[in-house]
């Protein structure tokens, strides 16, 4: 890949060690002649990344989600350095960043394009999500009836606590906690997972990438909440449908050379179990 000559830093100062790590990495970047700027504020303002080659986010996955919309619109790759807990999106550990940052700046990296969801709740009311779109009643203790259409075709009606629409990237987030499937990031699909459905037969549904989904409330008393990546809420007009589709924007995510998604899953999710050895008989 091309060398990084202009680099923006987004640092979550509330994460232990984040500021110190930022100082170390910025020293390396300055020594390589890289032009820098830094902020501790996120979500980012529109245009903040314009003209930069990459953005280094130091924090947790929530920090990276606060940068994702602007990075996708500006087509600026994100280098995620984990100072949070699991860190599915911030794929570089602090030690990896220290050891390999100079190589990254020189072009020793690959970029994975992650799909995003576009959600609209009315004219001028739309947003992007990297992980998921959550639809539920604003009153968290109340069931809601939600009717789902794929294009003009009725899928089904749910009575549940809510619905999660997830990208492959977001399949390890709320979707996984609600019993949804793990999906490889390169799969061109959208997962819909009901939260505590009031039936034993409802399961996750996987839709193709080009689907146009529409969700309508069938609970007259419901006040729908639409949450984007668990960080931002969209207002929903009375009787207005919620429309969800795969966005034309993607998030360019920097990964080290030789990155393995399944190796990350094994580590982050503590997968265990040995490989069975073939039975051998004596001579």
> Where in 197-278 does DSSP place strands (E)?
205-208, 212-217, 224-228, 232-234, 242-255
What is the Cα–Cα distance from 268 to 136, expressed in whole angstroms?
Answer: 28
Q: Mark whether 61 is an active-site residue.
A: yes
Q: Which helix (H) or strand (E) holds 70?
A: helix 61-74
Angle at the Cα of 165 from the Cα atoms of 162 and 171, rounded to 5 degrees = 115
196 Cβ contact list (under 8 Å, min separation 6)? 160, 161
What is the Cα–Cα distance from 51 to 8, expressed in whole angstroms?
Answer: 10
Instruction: Name the catalytic one among 61, 132, 137, 229.
Output: 61
Q: Which two tokens stand for residue 253?
A: 């995510």
What is the Cα–Cα distance from 66 to 130, expressed in whole angstroms?
Answer: 10
Active site residues: 61
């Amino acid at each position: 890949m091309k060398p990084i000559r202009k680099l923006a830093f987004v640092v979550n100062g509330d994460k232990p060690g984040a500021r110190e790590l930022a100082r170390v990495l910025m020293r390396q970047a300055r020594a390589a002649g890289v032009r820098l700027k830094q902020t501790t504020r996120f979500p980012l303002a529109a245009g903040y990344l314009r003209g930069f080659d990459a953005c280094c986010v130091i924090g947790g996955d929530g920090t990276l989600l606060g940068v994702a919309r602007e990075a996708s619109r500006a087509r600026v790759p994100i280098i995620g350095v984990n100072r949070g807990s699991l860190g599915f999106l911030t794929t570089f550990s602090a030690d990896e960043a220290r050891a390999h940052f100079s190589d990254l700046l020189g072009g020793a990296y690959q970029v994975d394009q992650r799909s995003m969801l576009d959600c609209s709740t009315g004219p001028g009311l739309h947003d992007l999500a990297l992980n998921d779109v959550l639809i539920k009643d604003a009153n968290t203790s109340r069931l809601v009836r939600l009717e789902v259409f794929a294009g003009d075709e009725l899928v089904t009606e749910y009575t549940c606590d809510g619905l999660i629409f997830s990208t492959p990237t977001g399949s390890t987030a709320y979707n996984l906690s609600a019993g949804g499937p793990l999906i490889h990031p390169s799969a061109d699909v959208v997962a819909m997972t009901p939260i505590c459905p009031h039936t034993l037969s409802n399961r996750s549904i996987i839709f193709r990438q080009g689907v146009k989904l529409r969700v309508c409330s069938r609970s007259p008393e419901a006040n729908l909440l639409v949450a984007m990546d668990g960080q931002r809420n969209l207002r929903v007009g009375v009787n207005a449908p919620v429309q969800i589709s795969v966005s034309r924007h993607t998030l360019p995510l920097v990964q080290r050379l030789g990155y393995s998604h399944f190796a990350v899953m094994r580590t982050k999710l503590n997968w265990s179990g040995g490989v069975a050895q073939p039975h051998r008989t004596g001579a």
